[in-house]
Amino acid sequence: MNEIKQKAEKFLNEFFRRLGFELQARASASAEDCSLEIVGKDEHLLRGEGGELLYAIEDLLNQIFLSSLPRGARIVCDSHGFRAEREVELRAMAQHAAMRVRSTGVPFVFGPMSANERRIIHLALANNEDLVTESVGEGQQRRLKVSLKDSAK
């Protein structure tokens, strides 16, 4: 795994240099995972639009190194704890949607989001016996819908 991390780090740093981004990728020290921390003057670009660029870079790396990664392993990119902050934000959004659905009886549909973000909301609401969550739509426009169980039929 260390060799893959080093290659991914080298690739990403060259990618940033060629694009003129003031960013630096640093592989984590753990031998079990493949994590890259991205820091630098332009890191605000990574976190904009809900981390869209950060996730796109992560997807790119996973596509490039897919054949080298152990089965089930993925490369994970982060920038100053963005992923943890985003998870807290998504959980709060899930609770807000749940309260709104309960008070109005009307399903709540989130805007388009990644599979990982939809998963976080699904899990945040999984123990609510009166609610059901489902992903709707196709491709990049896939959304998450929260409904009362009775009205979901």
Question: pLDDT band at 151, cuts 50/70/90?
Answer: low
Token pair, residue 52, equals 């869209």
CATH code of the domain in which 102 resides: 3.30.1370.50
Q: Which of 39, 29, 38 is nearest to 77 (CA)?
A: 38
Out of 63, 80, 97, a domain closes at: 80
Residues 22 and 58 placed together within one structural domain of the fold = yes
Q: How far is CA 27 from CA 11, 68, 83, 121, 144, in A?
A: 12, 16, 16, 28, 33
Q: Which residue type is seen at 10?
A: K
CB 77, CB 61: distance < 8 Å: yes
Mean pLDDT across the chain: 90
Q: By the 8 A CB rule, do 26 and 76 touch?
A: no
In the chain, which ranges are E strands? 24-27, 34-39, 75-78, 108-109, 131-136, 143-148
Highest mean pLDDT among 10-24, 45-59, 76-90: 10-24
C-alpha–C-alpha distance, residues 35 and 101, integer Å: 37
Q: What is the largest CA-CA distance in the chain?
A: 54
Residue predicted with more confidence, 132 or 31: 132
Give the residue, 22 or 72, on which the prediction is more confident: 22
**pLDDT at residue 79, as a whole number:** 94
Average pLDDT over residues 54-64: 91
Residue 134: the pLDDT is: 96
| Domain with 135 in it | 85-152
- The residue among 39, 65, 80 that closes a domain is 80
Whether 127 and 142 share a structural domain:
yes
Over residues 95-108, mean pLDDT: 97
Confidence of residue 72 (pLDDT cuts 50, 70, 90): confident
Total count of domains within the chain: 2
Distance CA(74)–CA(59), nearest Å, equals: 9
Residue 93: pLDDT over 90: yes
Q: CA 50 to CA 54: how far, in whole Å?
A: 9
